[in-house]
Structure 1
Amino acid sequence: WMSRASDSLTAFPNICSVKDGVLTNRKWTYTNSKVAEPGINSIASSASGKIWGINHNYCLVSFDIKNQKLTLSKPVINEASNIVNQVNGLVIDEEHIFWISSPFGLTKYNNHTGKSINLKSSLPGAHPLTLRQDPARKEILWIGSNASGLIMFNKATLKATHYTTRDGLPNNTIYGIIPDNQGNLWCSSNKGIFSFHPVTKTVRSYTTRDGLPVDEFNRSYFMEMPDGTIAFGGTNGYTVFNPKDLSGDNYAPQTALTSIRVNNTQPAPGSALALLDNQINNITRIELRYDQNFLSFEFAGLEFNVPEKLRYRYRLKGIDKSWVLSGTDNRATYTSIPPGEYTFLANTANT
């Protein structure tokens, strides 16, 4: 099923794979409106078997597959009376609550009561571009945003958790989200396609250097097929793949310390700290005075083929309770460290 901005609902039967050629189709128009209505931006199916959508006037549209009737209802986003429609995400959950993403943020619409609630305050500064229900956790929505990263939104608590380039994502603009059968979320962005595992937080990214035709993708242009094949639309056509056919790069680059700075100063030539920098990876222990408690570490992954895909994490045992995911940032800074013994660790991942 496909919605188009220029007209209404269109069916393309028996699409199980992408093939060259002309698609046969059939279009429906509204049965309860004589007025020419604009096209439909987003569609979703419900447990009842109906297909629902939001048109350019922010009106709810329903299609009964059994009776073959397309019905127009009232607007579900009241703030939108004079704004061009940019609804780009629609999810219908088990309780028949409609979750809608638009320039007004996230809207919760109860189809039983007819009431809409705008949840923009729960996503401050975020402009949602797409929505997806978490297949394993009914309380979780995944939101792709414009420049605010991948957002995990809890429908029960209305709390949002942002994952960005600091967490290893290649880009903070997310156009499409599709889950696979291995628990990954596949996302299209302005810097290629990437997979994100919600439990392990593992990211694997793919760009033109890995064989993609383009790195820049577009919102609303993505779909999944019954066999698990995924298609993402970009600036030069569609990229089509099946996640089960992809093998990740399991090579873990070695990590080398490249510099230690004490109290934010460059060590004087010939000093002990200057000599330390020259032999840094051969030294396992250093002792500092109590007032030398402002430390900066720099480190690098020893990967020279695609260094821009390296992601880092670090931890100062005794200070950090868990690993700090720093994305592409290969520096760690600590201030006012109390006297004691500490161990610094750094790892590199090739995404």
Structure 2
Amino acid sequence: IVRYNMISHLNKILKPSFATGDAMRQVEYIGNNTYIIGTGSGKLVRLENENFTELYNCGAPVISMMRDRKNFVWVSTAGKGVLVLDNRGKIIHHYNATSGTRNSLLSNFTREALQVSDSLYIVAGEHNLNLINIYTGAIDHITTNEGLPNNTVYSMQLDQNNMVWMSTNEGITSYDYTHNEFRMYDEKDGFLPVSNNSDLLYRSCILHDGRLVFAGAGKYIIFQPDSLVQRRAPKDVTITDIRLFNEFLPVDSILKENGLHLQHDQNTLTINFTS
């Protein structure tokens, strides 16, 4: 770990004896000159006043960590779900895939956690999003069947208008979680296309002026969410007319009678609709 003094502009290298050869992937500051460190081997370490204390071994690599508004640290792992630590490094909750249908993750592989309100957190899983209500314990799963444009989400940020932005295998996507509406962005919006793994954006942050940064291996993008036009999902389809052998049929009557029943030889049907 390299500690940088912003006043003296000097660096100091800190080397914990038990972490030889172990990659320190994530660092989160929790106050009082104390940090939580997550490693590639799954260790969680507290760094306090230059003293290292090993807290816990997750049993799976630490992928990312997120400090929430309560100063709790959410640790996403590659195989053991999500662990929540208090400001002393004690595990106070463990979300995994074995807790039951309504209060479990879809899988134990998790990439990142994001707090979107006092009660709602989103955890990016292996092939889905997990929406966790920390007060009720209920967890909803959002997959491509529920509208998720791409099932691999790497990183997420909440903008100043409470819109969730995420990087996926197909680029940047916004998510209005209050309406469960997604929108993908591409070259027409000024974003670079994702053509291979070098284009993937694995990490993100929000700047003081509200701009979002998503970064990957050798490239990054910075954008102001407010500058992008937010298009809502199309309205529900409305059938305007139905024709059988080019003869108009009463749409209202058909809808009220729960459908249209046809004979096997009534096989020329035209339906017009608007959206």
> What TM-score bracket applies, with the shorter chain setting the length?
0.7 to 0.9
Amino acid of the structure 1 residue aligned with 2:84: K
Among 189, 210, 222, the alignment partner of 1:240 is 222
Partner residue in 2 for 1:229:
211
Q: Does 1:100 align with 2:79?
A: no
1:247 is displaced (CA, Å) by 2.3
1:241 is displaced (CA, Å) by 0.5
Among 26, 38, 48, the alignment partner of 2:22 is 38
Q: 1:38 to 1:289 in 2, by over 3 A?
A: closer
Among 31, 41, 47, the alignment partner of 1:57 is 41
1:177 is displaced (CA, Å) by 0.8
Structure 1 stretches lacking a partner, 5+ long: 1-7, 15-23, 261-272, 293-297, 303-346
Partner residue in 2 for 1:29:
14
1:301 is displaced (CA, Å) by 8.4
* Aligned alpha-carbon RMSD (Å): 4.1
1:183 is displaced (CA, Å) by 0.9
CA contact (8 A) 2:214 2:220 kept: yes
Among 198, 205, 211, the alignment partner of 2:177 is 198
CA contact (8 A) 1:47 1:94 kept: no
Alignment of 1:121-136 (within 5 A): 121=98, 122-125=104-107, 127-134=109-116, 136=117
Among 132, 135, 143, the alignment partner of 2:123 is 143
1:285 is displaced (CA, Å) by 2.8
1:125 is displaced (CA, Å) by 2.7
Number of residue pairs the alignment of both structures matches = 256
Using the TM superposition, name which of 97-106 and 185-194 deviates more. 97-106
Secondary structure, in 3 states, of the residue corresponding to 2:253? coil
In structure 1, C-alpha distance between the alignment counterparts of 2:24 and 2:240, rounded to whole Å? 55
Among 154, 159, 176, the alignment partner of 1:175 is 154
Q: 1:190 to 1:29 in 2, by over 3 A?
A: same
Partner residue in 2 for 1:19:
none
1:51 is displaced (CA, Å) by 3.5
Q: Does 1:212 align with 2:194?
A: no
1:143 is displaced (CA, Å) by 0.9
Q: Runs (4+) of structure 1 moved beyond 6 Å?
A: 298-302
Partner residue in 1 for 2:267:
none
Amino acid of the structure 1 residue aligned with 2:222: V
Q: 1:72 to 1:39 in 2, by over 3 A?
A: farther
Query: Structure 1 length normalisation: TM-score?
Result: 0.59
In structure 1, C-alpha distance between the alignment counterparts of 2:248 and 2:27, rounded to whole Å? 61
Q: Does 1:109 align with 2:85?
A: yes
Using the TM superposition, name which of 32-41 and 117-126 deviates more. 32-41
% identity of equivalent residues: 19
In structure 2, C-alpha distance between the alignment counterparts of 1:46 and 1:193, rounded to whole Å? 30
In structure 2, C-alpha distance between the alignment counterparts of 1:299 and 1:42, rounded to whole Å? 56
Secondary structure, in 3 states, of the residue corresponding to 2:17? coil
In structure 1, C-alpha distance between the alignment counterparts of 2:258 and 2:121, rounded to whole Å? 50
Alignment of 1:77-96 (within 5 A): 77-78=57-58, 80=59, 85=61, 87-93=62-68, 96=71
Alignment of 1:287-302 (within 5 A): none
1:185 is displaced (CA, Å) by 0.8
In structure 1, C-alpha distance between the alignment counterparts of 2:245 and 2:32, rounded to whole Å? 72
Query: Structure 2 length normalisation: TM-score?
Result: 0.72
In structure 2, C-alpha distance between the alignment counterparts of 1:157 and 1:126, rounded to whole Å? 20
CA contact (8 A) 2:173 2:183 kept: yes
Secondary structure, in 3 states, of the residue corresponding to 2:252? coil
1:220 is displaced (CA, Å) by 3.8
